[in-house]
Structure 1
Amino acid sequence: MSEVWLWLAVLSALGAFWAAVWLAPAWARRDRISRRMEHRYHGVSGSEVDEPQGWLLRFAERALGTGVLASDFREVDEALSRTALSRERIVLTYSLACWVLPLALGLAGLLIYGPLGGLAGLALTFVLARRIIRKRGEQAEAQMNREAVALCQLMRMFLETGMTLERAFRTLAQQAGPLMPVLIRHIDTFNRRIDAGMDRSRALAELGRNRNVPVLYDLTIILRQTGVLGTGAGEAINALIQRANEIERARLQEAASKVSAKMSAVMVLCMLPALMILIAGPGLVSFSELLR
């Protein structure tokens, strides 16, 4: 038992060292970005941008982008990018959840339950962590599809009042958090890219790069064309909202039809046996009494 506590202490020390080396620079950059965004919203101009990524992050991305880990990391990266996590958080989450945690639980199971327990803990955590991350990305993507319609309506209203695109997105970042809890993080990322000096067309392309969110993808294309051609975007956004409402209506109708099928299965499995007992029960009791 003392060996188990020794190994747990070693793993805790390694985890603390990892967090101190990895998370401290990310927290410092996030604090600087938050302060800069707050100043920008209050009219204070500035030109500072994010510092270059740390050597540990560059080494981790280079290691994960080559070899057998490339395809595995790419899948996790796509799922976590839908939640608007930073590169530091994505690499950290993948490293800890997909490799450090399974190895730690596998080692603990090996020390406590033997080789079979260690193998079971390693395999279970290895598969479960990836399924949870993939499911989290799918939920964020579905939420973004629902929130993109509200984004289109708000952008149409802001642009029709003569507000610039940058000002509209900054107003959304300040006030639309309760309405769009998932999409607001992507809007914050867009604002930080604009503040850092990125071209508006490129920032819009990064905002709508996920084609599994078609409303947001089409909205960014409309806004990019509006910026290039100098035309109004009101009619195009109206058409996009109508098409999105039709798609949502079709999705709800499909979901409603599936609910009726599920309810039929529930009635057959749960209510039909009770109904048969209620109807045929007295007859069976009478028949059993006659046999006596």
Structure 2
Amino acid sequence: MVLILVAAALAVLFLIAGLRRRTSTGVKRLHAISGAEEPDATPARSGLSAAVGAIMDVPARLMPRVLSDRLGAGLDRAAPLSGFTPERLLGVRVFGMVLLPAALLFATRFSRAAVLVALPLSLAGAALPVMLANRNRNSYLDSVRRGLPQTADMLYALVLGGKNLDQAFKGAAVCAPEPLAGLLARTVREMDLGATRSESFARLEKSCPLEELSSLLRSLIEAEKRGHPLGPTLGVFSREIRMRERDRLKVAVAKAPVKMLAPLVFLILPAAVMLTVGPTLLASLQKLF
């Protein structure tokens, strides 16, 4: 009964969180293209995530500067595009180095095995922030990569509809999926404030070092410089990016059986053997003894 209540409470919490993060509908996006509505691209943070973030920022505030510089070595390079600040990554490292071995020692009542494993576990806690940052960064870049085909199609449709490059880019920024929409919206604001298209595209390429996005921006700049029509250029890029995505998915599908081998051998098969052979073995042992 307790498990059912806990599961129901978690389901309600996830439902509330999903309702808070609802994206705008297609009608709102069409209004935003025409300029009647400005889309809100800044999702609200939940109170729990804000509290956890504040706790993770505490070590960077309390530690001496020399110690924080030593423990935070390399975190400045891991922080961009990860959703974490270097101070927060430092907090994750400190808590990981302290809490993981401490939890193991208290759980095992300071056994010899736990004492031997405590140091490797502390080193694993030190590597935890870099692993989290790399995972978030790769996830962010994958999200941008998945949104590029839809954005290229929108640019192509707007250009064929008679829009110039600035108007088409602004419309694509509204309709692009997140997080690509935020990047494109920032570029549009920079151009509205007087920055040249080349400068804005260069900053966008620097802020999101993705090969496919750089290829799109360079194609648009070269087509405009040489006087080539944008429609065929965007059509070629759209087909090329979809072929790359298809090849990437083929590689991922080919790697899936290898990745499934370890959990199959070490988790699923032992559990299946315990569930099938275990009761029979226990019954046989009870009859014998």
Q: Under a length normalisation based on structure 2, what TM-score does the superposition of the two structures give?
A: 0.54
Question: Structure 1 residue aligned with 2:244, among 243, 247, 253?
Answer: 247
Question: Cα distance, 1:263 vs. partner?
Answer: 4.8
Structure 1 residue aligned with 2:89? 98
- Partners of 2:185 and 2:141 lie apart in 1 by 17
- Partners of 2:88 and 2:168 lie apart in 1 by 37
Q: Is the contact made by 2:79 and 2:133 (CA closer than 8 Å) also made in structure 1?
A: no
Structure 1 residue aligned with 2:143? 143
- Partners of 1:70 and 1:104 lie apart in 2 by 9
**Using a 3 Å threshold, how does the CA distance of structure 1 residues 102 and 259 change in structure 2: closer, same or farther?**
closer
Q: Secondary structure at the match of 1:184?
A: helix
**Using a 3 Å threshold, how does the CA distance of structure 1 residues 274 and 105 change in structure 2: closer, same or farther?**
closer
Counterpart of 2:252, as a letter, is A
- Partners of 1:277 and 1:70 lie apart in 2 by 47
Structure 2 residue aligned with 1:163? 163
Question: Cα distance, 1:224 vs. partner?
Answer: 0.8
Q: Secondary structure at the match of 1:146?
A: helix
Question: Cα distance, 1:278 vs. partner?
Answer: 7.3
- For the pair shown, the structure with the greater C-alpha radius of gyration is 1
Question: Cα distance, 1:131 vs. partner?
Answer: 2.8
1:8-54 residue CA offsets vs partner (Å, 9 max, x unmatched): xxxxxxxxxxxxxxxxxxxxxxxxxxxxxx9x9469xxxxxxxxxxx
Structure 2 residue aligned with 1:72? 74
Structure 2 regions of 5+ residues with no counterpart? Answer: 1-31, 38-64, 104-117
Structure 1 residue aligned with 2:204? 207
Aligned length, in residue pairs: 203
Q: Is the contact made by 1:79 and 1:137 (CA closer than 8 Å) also made in structure 2?
A: yes
- Partners of 2:182 and 2:122 lie apart in 1 by 33
Q: How does 1:31-50 map to 2 (within 5 A)?
A: 41=35
1:214-252 residue CA offsets vs partner (Å, 9 max, x unmatched): 221111011112222232122222222222222222222
Q: How does 1:278-289 map to 2 (within 5 A)?
A: none
- Partners of 1:184 and 1:250 lie apart in 2 by 25
Q: Is the contact made by 2:79 and 2:89 (CA closer than 8 Å) also made in structure 1?
A: no
CA RMSD of aligned residues (A): 4.7
- Partners of 1:103 and 1:259 lie apart in 2 by 31
Question: Cα distance, 1:126 vs. partner?
Answer: 5.2
Q: Secondary structure at the match of 1:180?
A: coil
**Using a 3 Å threshold, how does the CA distance of structure 1 residues 278 and 190 change in structure 2: closer, same or farther?**
closer
**Using a 3 Å threshold, how does the CA distance of structure 1 residues 195 and 210 change in structure 2: closer, same or farther?**
closer
**Using a 3 Å threshold, how does the CA distance of structure 1 residues 69 and 231 change in structure 2: closer, same or farther?**
farther
Question: Cα distance, 1:212 vs. partner?
Answer: 5.2
1:125-171 residue CA offsets vs partner (Å, 9 max, x unmatched): 65433332222111101111111111111111111112122222222
Q: How does 1:2-21 map to 2 (within 5 A)?
A: none
Q: Is the contact made by 1:169 and 1:191 (CA closer than 8 Å) also made in structure 2?
A: yes
Query: Are 2:229 and 1:232 aligned?
Result: yes
Counterpart of 1:157, as a letter, is A
**Using a 3 Å threshold, how does the CA distance of structure 1 residues 273 and 138 change in structure 2: closer, same or farther?**
closer
Q: Secondary structure at the match of 2:74?
A: helix
Q: Is the contact made by 1:149 and 1:215 (CA closer than 8 Å) also made in structure 2?
A: no
1:72-121 residue CA offsets vs partner (Å, 9 max, x unmatched): 355135434xx6xxxxxx7xx22x3134x369859x98xx99xxxxx989
- Partners of 1:276 and 1:196 lie apart in 2 by 67
- Partners of 1:254 and 1:201 lie apart in 2 by 34
- Partners of 1:127 and 1:257 lie apart in 2 by 29
Q: Is the contact made by 1:173 and 1:188 (CA closer than 8 Å) also made in structure 2?
A: yes
**Using a 3 Å threshold, how does the CA distance of structure 1 residues 185 and 275 change in structure 2: closer, same or farther?**
same
Counterpart of 2:163, as a letter, is M
